[in-house]
Amino acid sequence: MLSISSFLQLLKESFRDLLPIILVIMFFQLAIIQSVPDNWLSTTIGLAIVGVGLAIFLLGLEVGIFPVGEGLASDFAKKGSTKWIVIFAFMIGFGTTIAEPALIVIAQKAAGISAGRIDATTLRMVVALSVGFSIVLGVWRIIKGHPIHYYIITGYVMVVSATMFAPKEIVGLAYDLGGVTTSTVTVPLVAALGIGLASNIKGRNPVLDGFGLIAFASLTPMIFVQFYGIFVYEYVDAATTAAAVDLTPVLQTLSTTTPEFDFKILDIFKGLISVVIDVVPILAVILFFQYIILKKPIDNLKNVIIGFGLVILGLDAFIVGLEMGLFSVGETMAYELTRYDNNFIIYSFGFLIGFSTTMAEPSLTAIARKAKEISDGKINDFILRLFVALGVAIGISLGAYRIVVGGEIVYYIMAGYMFVIALTFIAPKYIIPIAYDSGGVTTSTVTVPLVAALGLGLATNIPGRDPLIDGFGLIAFASLFPMITVMLYGIITERVGVKGEYEKEQLHLHELRHALEGVHDMDLSTISIQGTDQRHSYNMPFSAVHIIVPIGKEEEALIAARSAGAGGVTITKARGIGLEKMENVFNRLHENESDSDLMFITQSKKVDAIIKAVVDELDLTGAGQGIAYSYPVSHIKGLTLKLDDL
């Protein structure tokens, strides 16, 4: 994984994702506002830094956070201690949310425009407790194997029920806070926890059961915050000095940045320290449970440390680039466009900025890549992101329309929930948890500041609108509609007949069997079941995977292969020689062997994962040495597999 080629591929994808944002900003800046920003050079440099930072961040996720998260989940599942799994889940949820930058910003703004009723620190505590509770609930669902839609539908009913009693000043804020609780680092770790548990608990499916934790983390804050609002608006008096609230400073500082970024070494260092402070609680929780509770060292500790370092550097560069290149221009544009009388321009800006920023959202990119991996390629990560981005775009446009024409947000949200519930019973099962999670990963580092600025700007400049009642809510729309569009994506793929790699392989073998007349048992294998005297004969495609590595590299290759599903190995010594000079061949035949041939007999569906894991670990295509290849085999006799593999 730690190779130049991997980084260059991620870098290419990062700049591809940034291109829509650049085009949208340029169009509205030049064609609508008709002015060139004074700090255009800083903006250009900032966007370049964003692209590089995003690539470094994603590389760090693949190397550090995903492996350690799935490893912890696997160890907890094997340990069989439900109590410690639940405690770990709560600490991850609470500890990462309380320091979430987007939550801090929104809580401060809510306190500023609520006439003193809402306390920013208390609000953050309420949200963090709700997220901790939600992760516990999601983990409990995976352990018990309950269908996710029962929990989500019940949650929707509770949200709407709380809305009937909550003061209207708190409703939009509560809905928005459901979308800002899942941070850029938290989302991948929580997803890895869910997928790891589902992969290691008997009877669970990583696709059906592994996703969904993020959906819980987006749903429960809406309930908790509304009950908090009922309390404060019933028992807390407004500040007597709060006669009117000027939101201009709020709009100018919504991203906690100044309009023009001051590029100083000290400021960059402070930003890096801030990112480290955000990541340290996550790392502390992981180390505590790994070494104190599980009493087990982290596998590939060097790679994990490098991965976390890359995440910190990448996220810091990403934020610095946003401050230089996007926030300074984007927030000014959002504020300026609210002054236009043409509502179509506002809706168009909301749609395009929602689509483009979502495509560049690092959390969504990480989750989409993971969804593709564990769905065996049935889910296309880029197309999934397109459908999520389309949902965000529609949601923000509709949310802007609500602010412009007026109307209670609860009616829009209820209508959206009804669509989600209806589609839940129509969409294929494998897409439902991913769709629910999509609503939580779309509103993070990039999207929240611009969307919040647009909503508050509209509510401030349109007569008859209240910033506290009408200004919040756009983030809720941006979280709701991706669930609808992703379920539609699942329905479309089923209708079109999209298949995963294993399904394609099985279909090909089925067609091949029918084409070869007289051959009825071309893959008939007799497998012994581990721990029993039973044998089982059936048709399953098997392959032989050969990994030839230098002596001394066997352990690294075996650990990587085991993590990808390899169950056993045959090791033989080997020697590779060139044939350019034939006279040297026979003289070298009896020299000491310098290589090892690792042969894995495994189900064909695991071949890609095993080869990829070993190639990435040993960097065979880069600076490493070795050869990897595979071929199909038939009529297996004497192989032993676990019952779960059958």
Domain assignment of residue 152, yes or no: yes
Domain assignment of residue 529, yes or no: yes
> In this structure, are 482 and 572 located in the same domain?
no
Range of the domain at 352: 4-25+37-234+247-496
Regarding predicted confidence, which is higher, 179 or 409?
409
The answer to whether the predicted template modeling score (pTM) of the entire model surpasses 0.75 is no
Query: Does pLDDT of 502 surpass 90?
Result: no
Burial class (CB in 10 A: 0-12, 13-18, 19+), 352: buried
> In this structure, are 319 and 174 located in the same domain?
yes
Query: Does pLDDT of 302 surpass 70?
Result: yes
Q: What is the pLDDT of residues 508-519, one digit of tens each?
A: 666 666 655 444
Domain assignment of residue 241, yes or no: no
> In this structure, are 533 and 419 located in the same domain?
no
Q: How far is C-alpha 307 from the chain's CA centre?
A: 16
Beta strand extents in 305-359 (DSSP E only): none
Angle, helices 213-235/186-200, rounded to nearest 10 degrees = 130
As beta bridge partners, residue 544 has 601, 631
Domain assignment of residue 519, yes or no: no
Q: How far is C-alpha 613 from the chain's CA centre?
A: 21
> In this structure, are 150 and 278 located in the same domain?
yes
Q: What is the pLDDT of residues 84-139, one digit of tens each?
A: 888 888 888 887 777 666 676 677 777 776 766 788 889 989 998 998 998 899 88
Regarding predicted confidence, which is higher, 361 or 424?
424
R_g of the chain, CA atoms, integer Å? 27
The count of structural domains within the chain is 2
As beta bridge partners, residue 550 has 595
> In this structure, are 475 and 583 located in the same domain?
no
For the beta carbon of residue 111, count every other beta carbon within 10 angstroms. Answer: 17
Distances (CA, A) of 90 to 84, 108, 138, 190, 476: 10, 25, 10, 11, 24
Task: Calculate the average pLDDT of the chain.
Answer: 77
pLDDT band at 451; cut points 50, 70, 90: confident
Query: Does pLDDT of 486 surpass 90?
Result: yes
- From its phi and psi, is residue 418 left (phi > 0), alpha (psi between -120 and 50) or beta? alpha
How high is the pLDDT of residue 126? 92
3-state secondary structure of 632: strand
Closest CA to 645 of 577, 567, 546: 567
Q: Dihedral angle at the C-alpha atoms of 334, 339, 342, 346, nearest 10 degrees?
A: 20
> In this structure, are 419 and 534 located in the same domain?
no
| Distance, CA of 595 to CA of 592 (rounded, Å) | 9
Q: What is the pLDDT of residues 279-288, one digit of tens each?
A: 777 778 888 8
> In this structure, are 450 and 570 located in the same domain?
no
pLDDT band at 74; cut points 50, 70, 90: confident
> In this structure, are 227 and 279 located in the same domain?
yes
| Distance, CA of 290 to CA of 293 (rounded, Å) | 6
> In this structure, are 597 and 456 located in the same domain?
no
Contact yes or no for 315/308 (Cβ under 8 A): no
Span between the terminal Cα atoms of the chain, in Å: 30
How high is the pLDDT of residue 585? 47
Q: In the numeric block, which tokens belong to residue 518?
A: 């007289």
Q: In the numeric block, which tokens belong to residue 64?
A: 């550090």
**CATH number of the CATH domain containing 637:** 3.30.70.120
Regarding predicted confidence, which is higher, 384 or 278?
384
Q: What percent of the chain has pLDDT over 90?
A: 7
